[in-house]
Amino acid sequence: MLLTLIKTRKTRYGWQSQLIETNHLTGDKLLAQVHLWFDDWPLPLIYPIHITRSGIHIRDKPLRCTWKKAEDRRATEGYLRRIQKSREEIFLDVV
């Protein structure tokens, strides 16, 4: 599975971003809108990620983001955990 993190708007302290599931067969799906501080924005690469109870992790480091809606966080992380349990690898493309 491929997720894409896209900067949508610069704020005073960071970036408003969209977390999108990239799917060439069914089309892209917006999973959530998140805010990342400037210092926490990862380099523009493709990272393998894993999901734990504490959130999304890139190379064992948490992706510290503020979710626009708490429901989005629960739904997105639950969805990604189910994908991860099926042993499918999840990658994050940072744009």
Give the global pTM: 0.91
Q: What pLDDT, on a 0 to 100 scale, did the predictor assign at position 47?
A: 97
Q: What is the mean pLDDT of residues 20-47?
A: 94
Residue 27, both tokens: 């089309």
- The predicted structure's pLDDT at residue 8: 96
pLDDT grade for 81, boundaries at 50, 70 and 90: very high
Residue ranges making up the domain that contains 73: 2-94
Give the tens place of pLDDT for each residue, 4-30: 999 999 999 999 999 999 999 999 999
- If one counts the domains in the chain, the total is 1
Q: How far apart are CA 88 and CA 95, in angstroms?
A: 22
C-alpha–C-alpha distance, residues 75 and 43, integer Å: 26
pLDDT confidence of residue 49: 96
